[in-house]
Structure 1
Amino acid sequence: MRRGTFRDETVDYAAVGATQAADLMQYPPERSIPAEQSWRIGSGETRFRAASEALLSWTAQRGAGLEVTDVRPASGPMYSGVSFDAEGNPVAPSRTESEQRFDADGTPYVGPGTTIRVGGRVKGLRADGELRVIFTVEEARRVGFALGTVGDSVVSGEESFMLDWNANDEVWFTVRAFDAPRALAYRVIPALTRRRRRELFTRYLRAISPLYATPA
């Protein structure tokens, strides 16, 4: 099991990690709009492994039409985040520097504390911003991570991307998020935030699952 967690004051919102709260949809962080969607994207270990590899190499973001640039792993020669056992006690670091992975273009894979810049538009709506990996999960049947806003975005908040290979052999992809409008237009017209989020969710799914399964 690998779990990496990163906490840093440079993110621009207070509820760090709240995408993992069971009651996110009922009690979102103050002034934020929550969203959650899950899709069955197939079954079996092969599908799970392929989707995991894609997810950790920024395929959801790139496949959504966003440009991923300035990928900066966390500073420190041996930084890897913190792992926890089943009781929540800290254990050995989840990853060492020698285990850093790169895609074919030399871009570092997702890692706790990594900062990235994304740019692009979603149905005409701006999707630029600087983001930080808040936590990562790499387990035998669960893989994922969360991104939090650092700045220069029309919204402030967090989104998590999780893949689960269930006991019944089904593979599910779940995206959860909460967005607090920052730009004036988004504060005045909340529907813009929801529209932007719906389109991002659809694009993330298409990037990870070309079959585009029906939402649960």
Structure 2
Amino acid sequence: MTRLMSSLSRPHRPRPTLSYREVAATRTPSALPEGYHHLRYSTVVGHGRAAFETAGAAVTTWRMHRATGARLLADAERAAPGVAVDISAGLGPLRMGAACSVVWTAYEDRRIGFAYGTLTGHPECGEESFMVHLEPDGTVRFTVNAFSRPAVWYTRLGGPVVPLLQRAYARRLGTILRRLVRT
């Protein structure tokens, strides 16, 4: 009862909301919204149904992201719309967190993945999708599509360096996913 009473006496904190209007725009990568930096990255990570399923599971259960060394906290074990995700990177006091929410998922016969959007307080504003595709010839392809723009002073200050870091992170995800599929 004491625990319940103390939780009731705490001030109510509003839940962060998505920080952009173009929700689910990464579903159509060829039509990303104007006014943002666009990222499109694609790489082959394997071949065959087993590689596709392994890659899809690594993406949607956060294993791929965690294998980069980033700290990822999610309120579900698997990507689903509305799941809150907090990703942080860095060391000690230099660790920077980024709060997101899954906005759409695809669990299909030839396509598995999800997209998350930035929440208020995130250093960027936008959305990013992580998809695994099984092509007709059996090729397994990983794609990252994103649109973003700075949301705080330090990402504005970073200027053209921020998109370069985003591309490097997408490449790192592809390399890690390829390794996860092989093992």
Q: TM-score of the superposition, structure 1-length normalised? A: 0.69
Please state how far the C-alpha of 1:126 moved relative to its aligned partner: 6.4
Q: How does 1:77-96 map to 2 (within 5 A)?
A: none
Letter in 2 for 1:205: G
Partner of 2:137: 168
Cα distance in 2 for residues equivalent to 1:147 and 1:121:
21
Cα distance in 1 for residues equivalent to 2:169 and 2:40:
12
Q: Percent identity?
A: 28
Q: Tell whether 2:33 aligns with 1:28.
A: yes
Partner of 1:111: 80
Cα distance in 1 for residues equivalent to 2:98 and 2:121:
5
Partner of 1:137: 106
Please state how far the C-alpha of 1:127 moved relative to its aligned partner: 4.9
Partner of 1:64: 68
Q: Figure out how many residues of one structure are paired with residues of the other and give that number.
A: 165
| Unaligned runs of at least 5 residues, structure 1 | 1-8, 74-107
| Largest Rg, 1 or 2 | 2
| Unaligned runs of at least 5 residues, structure 2 | 1-15
Partner of 2:124: 155
Cα distance in 2 for residues equivalent to 1:184 and 1:211:
36
Helix, strand or coil at the partner of 1:128: strand
Please state how far the C-alpha of 1:211 moved relative to its aligned partner: 8.2
Cα distance in 1 for residues equivalent to 2:158 and 2:105:
33
Counterpart contact for 2:58–2:180, Cα < 8 Å: no
Higher normalized helix content (fraction of residues): 2
Please state how far the C-alpha of 1:186 moved relative to its aligned partner: 2.3
Partner of 2:115: 146
Cα distance in 2 for residues equivalent to 1:12 and 1:201:
22
Q: Give RMSD over aligned pairs.
A: 2.4
Cα distance in 2 for residues equivalent to 1:199 and 1:121:
15
Helix, strand or coil at the partner of 1:167: coil
Counterpart contact for 2:60–2:78, Cα < 8 Å: yes
Q: Tell whether 2:51 aligns with 1:47.
A: yes
Helix, strand or coil at the partner of 1:16: coil
Cα distance in 2 for residues equivalent to 1:35 and 1:126:
24
Paired residue for 1:201, among 163, 170, 178? 170
Counterpart contact for 2:134–2:141, Cα < 8 Å: yes
Helix, strand or coil at the partner of 2:22: coil
Paired residue for 1:12, among 10, 19, 33? 19
Letter in 2 for 1:112: P
Q: Structure 1 pair 197/162, CA: closer, same or farther in 2 (3 Å)?
A: same
Letter in 2 for 1:72: D
